Amino acid sequence: MGYTEESVVASTFTDILKKLAAPALASANILLNTLVVGIENLPSSPPTVSIKTEDGKEYQFDAAVVTTPLGWLKRNLHVFDPPIPGILTKAISSISVGHLEKVYLTFPRAFWRTTTTTTPSTSTADPHAGYTNWVSPSYAGATNPHAWPQEAYDLAAFAPPHAHPTLLFYTFGAASAHIAAAVHGRPPPAQLAFLAAFFAPYVARLPGFDAADPGCAPRAALATAWRFDELAGGGSYCNFQVGLEDADVCLEALRVGCPERRVWFAGEHVAPVEEMGTVTGAYLSGEGAARRLIAALGAGEES
């Protein structure tokens, strides 16, 4: 079996989402900013799914696909009436929610590259490989006394017109908790000031850095704070902690869902193992749920 190189979307998912959403936007009723507070199976044959919203309204459907984040499910199992089967409860409770957070630092130019523009260098002498890992930064005692490791991706490495003079930092564990708490709820200027100071020791070690050059100082910053997002369930995406037993049984239970109640699940936590935690995985899980739903309603065959 040959090796297939993994592809990366260099721009955004906007155009892809427009195409995928077109049928629904053209023929479906879509409610935005509407919080679901109840998913009930009415005593009918075939099963009818009643969706209750926070504003007191109720909608009835032949079937439902629940695409909420795993973290939200963990905190809101009470919305299901009757309660979902024990194996599903175990699966949702056993699979963990991670705390990976992202920080984007944008500079006037990508000074760490061999050129002074955001155009990726074609020179074999380019000193920056596109990914940097500061394994144990003991030199950042003032801002990082625990020497949390840092890693960043170079978004200037993309081909034009998608190259940006931006470094994308991935943080996790105690480091992500510290950063998210420091920026959550603060105005953008205060966020920029904190993030610029926190990541300064690592930025200073990139090639081409000059402390006296304004082009080496970040001009904008953006940081996620999923751990404070109620609808995300206080985390980013699923992971598997050491000691988890029957992970394969848990995953299969999520994929099967509750066909007897015409309720299925989709999302990155229901994806094929190799795609869990990704947008691609969430999409694939939706396809799988749709196939099962269509088969159950007698409109097609499950593949």
- Same domain for 219 and 244, yes or no, is no
Give the pLDDT of residue 147. 96
232-234-239-244 Cα dihedral, nearest 10 degrees: -120
Where residue 281 sits, what CATH number does that domain have? 3.50.50.60
Tokens of 216: 């080496």
Domain finish residue from 199, 228, 257: 228
Q: Which two tokens stand for residue 84?
A: 């979902």
pTM: 0.86
Model pLDDT, residue 117: 43
Of 228, 261, 283, the one marking the end of a domain is 228
Residue 23, classed as helix, strand or coil, is helix
DSSP state letter for 77: G
Query: Rg of the chain's alpha carbons, rounded to an integer?
Result: 23
Indicate whether 116 and 168 sit together in one domain.
Answer: yes
Residues 112 and 40 in one domain: no
Please report how many Cα atoms fall inside a 13 Å half-sphere around the Cα of residue 129, on the Cβ side. 4
Among residues 201, 228, 255, which one ends one of the domains? Answer: 228
The domain in which residue 133 lies consists of 101-228
Contact yes or no for 183/196 (Cβ under 8 A): no
Q: What is the pLDDT of residue 129?
A: 65
In the DSSP assignment, the letter for residue 13 is S
Single-letter code of the amino acid located at 185: G
Residue 270 and residue 280 in contact, taking contact as beta carbons nearer than 8 Å: no
Q: What is the pLDDT along the chain (303 residues), one digit of tens a residue?
A: 455 666 778 888 899 999 999 999 999 999 999 999 999 999 888 889 999 999 999 999 999 999 999 999 999 999 999 999 999 999 999 999 999 999 999 999 999 986 544 444 444 455 556 899 999 999 999 999 999 999 999 999 988 899 999 999 999 999 999 999 999 999 999 999 999 999 999 999 999 999 999 999 999 999 999 999 999 999 999 988 888 888 889 899 999 999 999 999 999 999 999 999 999 999 999 999 999 999 999 864 444
Contacts (Cβ under 8 Å, ≥6 apart) of 35:
53, 54
pLDDT value of position 100: 95
Contacts of 2 (CB under 8 A, 6+ apart): none
Closest listed residue to residue 282, CA positions, set 68, 39, 22, 95: 68
Q: Looking at the 3D structure of the chain, how many domains does it have?
A: 2
